[in-house]
């Protein structure tokens, strides 16, 4: 009954498509994802595991995500157990849908459960599609206080993680995504609005840059190197 009430509240207060999940922090396991994820990202709740989540973050936003998480952990570590429940985390970054398209999501997280010492063990998160509200721009982090606690907006975050220079261009990554999902050049061309000749050129460039000689070899190396 409580879950149904929360769902109704979420439908009222959230503008745009959204889905929510419950994370077991100790085991880094998503225990529940709402079926609404299919409308937002195209995945089923069963597909949405942590390994997939990390794979679909936009390559340019990975460093932001890691640095944000580090800052959030640092902040919550400084709180006593009562105040931990009086803050929610808000950030944004881009995720790749199942069809290869990127959207910008607004990421909200609150604490559901802690240990006796204040370590967070379960959290509740919501992802809302805000692509139309923020089609471009740099990801930002805010920590919002509730019940009279102060808020910290657009926090300056120390860079504990710096991304390496990307091997492939954004367009080549899009083509690569469809290649490893078994699409032919003509299908990729239609999906991305390109000519077949352009897609073939991208394929040749991808093979050259990655030092691979076949689609099979490219797929294996993509998985091993984490290019997608």
Q: SS3 string of 167-185? A: CCCHHHHHHHHHHHCCCCH
Distance CA 65, CA 70 (A): 9
List the CATH code of the domain at 170-225: 1.10.10.10
For residue 144, give the 3-state DSSP assignment. Answer: strand
Whether 7 has a pLDDT exceeding 70, the answer reads no
Q: Where do the CATH 3.30.450.20 domains begin and end in the chain? A: 2-145
List the CATH code of the domain at 2-145: 3.30.450.20
Predicted confidence (pLDDT) per residue in 65-108, tens digit: 989 999 999 999 999 999 999 999 999 999 999 998 999 999 99
Distance CA 207, CA 205 (A): 5
Rounded to the nearest angstrom, the gap between the alpha carbon of residue 89 and the centroid of all alpha carbons in its chain is 15
For residue 145, give the 3-state DSSP assignment. Answer: strand
If one compares 103 and 62, the residue with the highest pLDDT of the two is 103
Specify whether the CB–CB gap between 130 and 92 falls below 8 A.
yes
Tell me, what's the pLDDT at 189?
92
Distance CA 74, CA 87 (A): 13
Q: Given pLDDT bands bounded at 50, 70 and 90, which one contains residue 30? A: very high
Whether 12 has a pLDDT exceeding 70, the answer reads no
Stated length of the chain:
228
Element (H, E) at 139: none
Predicted confidence (pLDDT) per residue in 110-125, tens digit: 999 998 888 899 999 9
pTM for the model: 0.69
Q: 6: which residues sit within 8 A by CB, 6+ positions away?
A: none
Q: Where do the CATH 1.10.10.10 domains begin and end in the chain? A: 170-225
Share of the chain above pLDDT 90, in %: 56
Of 190, 215, 187, nearest to 203 (Cα)? Answer: 215
């Amino acid at each position: 009954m409580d879950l149904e009430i929360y769902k109704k509240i979420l439908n009222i207060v959230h503008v745009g498509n959204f889905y929510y999940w419950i994370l077991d922090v100790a085991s880094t396991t998503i225990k529940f994802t709402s079926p609404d994820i299919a409308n937002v990202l195209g995945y089923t709740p069963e597909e949405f595991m942590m390994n997939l989540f990390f794979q679909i973050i936009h390559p340019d936003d990975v460093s932001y995500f890691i640095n944000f998480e580090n800052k959030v952990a640092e902040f919550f570590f400084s709180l006593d157990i009562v105040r931990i429940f009086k803050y929610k985390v808000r950030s944004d970054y881009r995720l790749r849908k199942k069809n290869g398209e990127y959207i910008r999501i607004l990421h909200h997280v609150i604490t559901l459960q802690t240990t006796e010492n204040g370590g967070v063990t379960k959290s509740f998160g919501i992802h809302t599609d805000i692509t139309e509200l923020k089609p471009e721009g740099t990801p930002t982090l805010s920590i919002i206080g509730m019940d009279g606690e102060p808020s910290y907006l657009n926090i300056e975050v120390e860079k504990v993680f710096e991304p390496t220079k990307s091997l492939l261009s954004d367009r080549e990554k899009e083509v690569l995504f469809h290649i490893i999902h078994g699409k032919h050049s003509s299908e990729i061309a239609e999906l991305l609005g390109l000519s077949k000749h352009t897609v073939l050129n991208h394929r040749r460039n991808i093979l050259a840059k990655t030092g691979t000689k076949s689609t099979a070899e490219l797929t294996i190396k993509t998985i091993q190197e984490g290019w997608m």
